[in-house]
A and B are shown apart, each in its own frame.
Chain A
């Protein structure tokens, strides 16, 4: 299936455009921009709305809303006198659960929440009520983790893309966020609203100029600077741009349009549309590391626990680069299996037969090798456990088969490769007898000089489907 992101939007979080657009012309223009975005989303044929909201902070990793029909009446903590916001949303709980699992596969801490009365945040409520008023498009909402930095936020997006691709969805990504977020700290007459300071206004316009040129990744890379310049500290960092850029493949050649930019009690509120269509401008430079799996960038205050729980000793830091498995005809790819080390799918179906690419023991997400790698980063041989490696190979095979709609009992033929027949055959053979041996496929075992990663065993499988 070929899922993809069909559009992205930046929208403000304050309730004014929803509750009182008539009280100030700027708030009215933001409302009109929301309406325009709503129509564009509808016309795009999107079948999923994904909201990343800065007004939903979380501490234990990221939280994903998974109540299929959350209902409540929200009142803003500051602007309670503007009125109440009744809501009843259509949440895609299945997608939420799949995203949560994809997060875990990529080493992230995350969980779903599905509780009656859960307080959905103001940014999400405003966005969903205005962009999807009849609930025609199922939605998911993800929190902003207050401790998350760039890697974690980037990997969160990649996990989301895993699920979009796998489920063939046409998704729209929305970040609910302010530009400059400094409000007036006193009560003002609506007609007096303006951006809090000239400096904030100038920065906002610069950021919007970048977005209008489709330079989303440039904005993402400036996140920390923007946060320092025009954001109240300890309000969620300007991190939604990390997420949104990663959702768009970290590109700088999107087609951008600013639908509105106005003041909301002094803060900068903008509705921006980012179309994935390339402007043909050419993608500009890309400075920061690309991150596929989350292995931590925080817990800096807890070094002891960090090293005790680290999987570092299991994880080869060198070795071949990992690839996104290609989506060729008949290809079967699984997020639950380790990434390939070249441009090939996990499996390919021909008629009722399924041919698997060679499967090793690497763990999906963390890339760790159960039983340990066979050599260290300098290439020196180290002690490893062949039985643990073999077991992990069998588990990866089971995952890929399951993804393809097959199963272990349908395996026809296996070719096994060992890098050290003398040392490992007995252990390998023992695990075989406990697992695959039960299902009775034919088997050929070969000794070879090396495998592309520091592993000792790999299997090539043909199964019926």
Chain B
């Protein structure tokens, strides 16, 4: 069996507003558009990924929140209706997705072997979280590739960002190993925003772009700092500053996704491509791709 590989790693945030603004057939509410900068960013990411052969999408969503260990979706097919509990006016989405249970189980087993608390989720009534669905939709609206879906362990809040990073660095390492051993080509998706301070009011027309801006200047500065590290191949500095960033920007990196992503990519020292940045109800969101082939001379 040929060695598997990670063919791209992406920061792919999940505000349901992006799905709402696109008016896809799966989503019940309709809009007049909005958040185009980010949606065009996702368009560029899809275009880029369409040129990279891949078998599976491996995703970590901060809206499947687990306090007891890290969990993996563990049955082959999920379908149903997802209603966002916070923005039900925007997101009521009929989903239908396949899971690569074999790869999920392989990552699960390796994680267990290295001492992490892990569990396969095998209840067929389980409703897939809206973060997974939104990122899944924005990256691959046809849902025609299987996913591995990993929960977000809340260790940041139980312990600290440092403990979260220890766990996520390890989870990232075993994720990479399991992918390599599987012989599959995988795209890694960390589904989270950057700065994460929301407005507490919604405008009459939620997609009224005259009302959209970053929650505060401090949030903007943090987002730009992190994006700059990404674009200049300084992933290690992101990890180093993660405690300050997570606390001061109330960043959604608290869910561990970004640390895990950077670990699966062996903490990249090559530049990432920024496909788009924009704010959603005050929060900062970047769509970023680390194209691994660029770093591996033997591919293409």
Q: Is the interface of A mostly helix, strand, loop or mixed?
A: loop
Nearest CB in chain B to that of A114: its residue: B88
Q: With A and B bound together, what is the CA distance between A398 and B78 in angstroms?
A: 55
Q: Is the CB of B125 within 8 A of A119?
A: no
A60, A117, A121: the one contacting B81 at CB < 8 Å is: A117
Q: With A and B bound together, what is the CA distance between A182 and B281 in angstroms?
A: 31
Q: A73-B125, A115-B92, A301-B216 are in contact. Are A60 and B117 (CB under 8 A)?
A: no
Residues of A near B77 (CB, < 8 A) are none
Q: Is the CB of A185 within 8 A of B68?
A: yes
Q: With A and B bound together, what is the CA distance between A56 and B199 in angstroms?
A: 18
| Per-residue interface assignment for chain B, residues 196 to 233, with 1 indicating a CB less than 8 Å from any chain A CB and 0 otherwise | 01111110000000000001101100000000000000
Q: Nearest Cβ in chain A — how far from B134, in angstroms?
A: 15
Q: With A and B bound together, what is the CA distance between A84 and B151 in angstroms?
A: 19
Count A interface residues, CB 8 Å: 41
Q: With A and B bound together, what is the CA distance between A117 and B199 in angstroms?
A: 26
Q: B157 an interface residue at 8 Å Cβ cutoff?
A: yes
Interface residues on B, range: 35 or more
Q: Is the interface of B mostly helix, strand, loop or mixed?
A: loop
Q: A118-B85, A299-B200 are in contact. Are A232 and B125 (CB under 8 A)?
A: no
Q: Nearest Cβ in chain A — how far from B198, in angstroms?
A: 5
A-B contact count (CB 8 A): 106
Q: B122 an interface residue at 8 Å Cβ cutoff?
A: yes
Q: Is the CB of A115 within 8 A of B117?
A: no
Q: A75-B125, A118-B83 are in contact. Are A59 and B68 (CB under 8 A)?
A: no
Residues of A near B71 (CB, < 8 A) are 77-78, 80
Q: A183-B67, A185-B68 are in contact. Are A109 and B200 (CB under 8 A)?
A: yes
Q: Is the CB of A115 within 8 A of B83?
A: yes
Q: Is the CB of A185 within 8 A of B215?
A: no
| Per-residue interface assignment for chain B, residues 68 to 82, with 1 indicating a CB less than 8 Å from any chain A CB and 0 otherwise | 110100000000011
Q: Nearest Cβ in chain B — how far from A28, in angstroms?
A: 21
Within residues 73 to 111 of chain B, which ones have a CB less than 8 A from any CB in chain A? Answer: 81-83, 85-89, 92
Q: Is the CB of B119 within 8 A of A81?
A: yes
Q: Is the CB of A77 within 8 A of B151?
A: yes
Q: Is the CB of B157 within 8 A of A232?
A: yes
Within residues 359 to 406 of chain A, which ones have a CB less than 8 A from any CB in chain B? Answer: none
B83, B87, B117, B129: the one contacting A185 at CB < 8 Å is: B117
A58, A121, A185, A299: which has the most chain B beta carbons within 10 Å? A185
Q: A265 an interface residue at 8 Å Cβ cutoff?
A: yes
Q: Is the CB of A234 within 8 A of B68?
A: no
Q: With A and B bound together, what is the CA distance between A24 and B238 in angstroms?
A: 45
Q: A189 an interface residue at 8 Å Cβ cutoff?
A: no
Residues of A near B156 (CB, < 8 A) are 234
Within residues 105 to 122 of chain A, which ones have a CB less than 8 A from any CB in chain B? Answer: 109, 113, 115-119, 121
A61, A117, A301: the one contacting B83 at CB < 8 Å is: A117
Q: Is the CB of B88 within 8 A of A113?
A: yes
Nearest CB in chain A to that of B74: its residue: A80
Q: With A and B bound together, what is the CA distance between A11 and B123 in angstroms?
A: 26
B86, B123, B201: the one contacting A57 at CB < 8 Å is: B86
Q: List 16 additional contacts besides A80-B122, A116-B81, A185-B69; criterion CB under 8 Å.
A: A57-B86, A58-B85, A60-B86, A77-B129, A78-B68, A81-B122, A115-B92, A116-B92, A117-B92, A119-B85, A121-B85, A185-B68, A186-B69, A187-B69, A233-B157, A234-B157
Show 30 residue pairs from A and B whose CB-CB distance is below 8 angstroms, ordered by the A residue.
Answer: A57-B85, A57-B86, A58-B85, A58-B86, A60-B202, A61-B200, A74-B127, A77-B151, A80-B121, A81-B122, A81-B123, A116-B81, A117-B82, A117-B83, A118-B85, A119-B83, A147-B200, A183-B67, A183-B68, A185-B67, A185-B68, A185-B155, A187-B117, A232-B67, A232-B154, A234-B254, A265-B68, A299-B200, A302-B199, A302-B215
A-B pairs with lowest CB-CB distance, top 5: A84-B125, A301-B216, A117-B81, A80-B123, A75-B126
